[in-house]
Amino acid sequence: MIVITASLTLAACGGADDDGRNLVDRAKDGQLRIGIKFDQPGLALKKPDGSHAGFEVDVAKYIAKQLGVNESGITWKEAQSAQREELIKKGEVDFVVATYSITDKRKKEVSFAGPYFVAHQNLLIRANDNDITGPESLNAHRKLCSTKGSTSAQYVKATYANDVQLQEFDKFTDCVTALLSGTVQAMTSDDVILAGYATQYKGKLRLAGKGFTDERYGVGLRKDDKVGLEAINKALHQMQQDGSWRGSLETHVGPSGYSIPEPPAIAP
C-alpha cells in the first residue's frame, strides 16, 4: 500500500507528459521537449523554414547533446515569458532556455541551473528620439512597453519613472511593432535582447543609455530535480570550457556590436 501511494504521488508531481523521472532518466528515451523563445533575433528566432537559430538555441542543443539527445530528438516549444513556470510545472517541457532571469520568487516554483549569461536591463527607442536618454527620462507623456510575465517595465516605473504609462504585450515582436509605429515611445528588456532588434531594424531603433540591472539567465527545470540540475550545470560548464559558449555568442550576438562578456560562474 505504501509503495502504491508513493508511486501515485510521484506520477502526480511529474506533470502531464512525464512519469516523475528526473531529467537525466527522461533523456535516455532520446527525446526532449525544450522551451525557447521564437522571436528574439540573436538569441532564439524561428526562421521562415521552421528551424531555430541563436545563442540560446545553441545552449539548449548543447545541453541536450550532453544528455545524449541529438538535435533530431528535440521538440521545440514556444515559451512566452508569462508561461514559463506553468510549462515546467505541467510537464509540457523538460527544461526552458528563454532569457529566464533567476529570481527568488521564481525559485519557489521551479529550479534553475546556471547562470549561463548575465544581461543588463536597458531601453530600446526609435533612432531619431534624442529626448529619452535612460529610464529616468521617461515621464507621464510616454508609454513604455514590455512583455506579460516580465518585471522589467514595473521595475522602471517603481525605481525611475513613476508617471510612465505601461503597455504589456504577449510577445517582444508586438512591442517592437508598437515602438516602430510610435504607439509606445520605449521598450524595456535586457540589453542582449534589445541589441538583436536594434540590429534587425538598424537605422530605425537603437539602445538608450547604459544597462541598469543585472539579469542572471538560468535554465529552468522541474522543482527539486537535483540530478537534472547537476547534469545541466555540468553541460554549461563544459560549453564554457571548450569555447562553444563564446563562439556561439560571437556568431549570433557579436554582429550587433554587443560586447561579449566573460562567462559567469556556474552555481555549484
Average pLDDT over residues 59-84: 97
Question: Quick one: 245 and 202 in the same domain?
Answer: no
Q: How many CA atoms lie within 13 A of 226 on its CB side?
A: 1
Q: Which helix (H) or strand (E) holds 23?
A: helix 23-27
Question: Quick one: 114 and 221 in the same domain?
Answer: yes
Per-residue pLDDT tens over the stretch 166-216: 999 988 999 999 999 999 999 999 999 999 999 899 899 999 978 888 999
Kindly state whether residue 27 falls inside one of the protein's structural domains.
yes
Question: Quick one: 173 and 189 in the same domain?
Answer: yes
Kindly state whether residue 97 falls inside one of the protein's structural domains.
yes
- Is the per-residue pLDDT at 7 higher than 60? no
Kindly state whether residue 6 falls inside one of the protein's structural domains.
no
- Is the per-residue pLDDT at 73 higher than 90? yes
**CATH number for 164:** 3.40.190.10
C-beta separation of 212 from 134 below 8 A: yes
Domain with 71 in it = 16-119+216-256
Question: Quick one: 41 and 115 in the same domain?
Answer: yes
Kindly state whether residue 21 falls inside one of the protein's structural domains.
yes
Q: Are strands 121-126 and 44-46 parallel, antiparallel or unpaired?
A: unpaired
Per-residue pLDDT tens over the stretch 118-177: 999 999 999 999 999 999 999 888 999 998 877 788 899 999 999 999 999 988 999 999
Nearest Cα to Cα of residue 133 among 180, 186, 200: 186
- Is the per-residue pLDDT at 12 higher than 70? no
Question: Quick one: 203 and 230 in the same domain?
Answer: no
pLDDT at residue 18 in the model: 56
Q: How far apart are CA 52 and CA 124, in angstroms?
A: 24
What's the structural domain count of the chain? 2
Q: How far apart are CA 173 and CA 57, in angstroms?
A: 18
Kindly state whether residue 146 falls inside one of the protein's structural domains.
yes
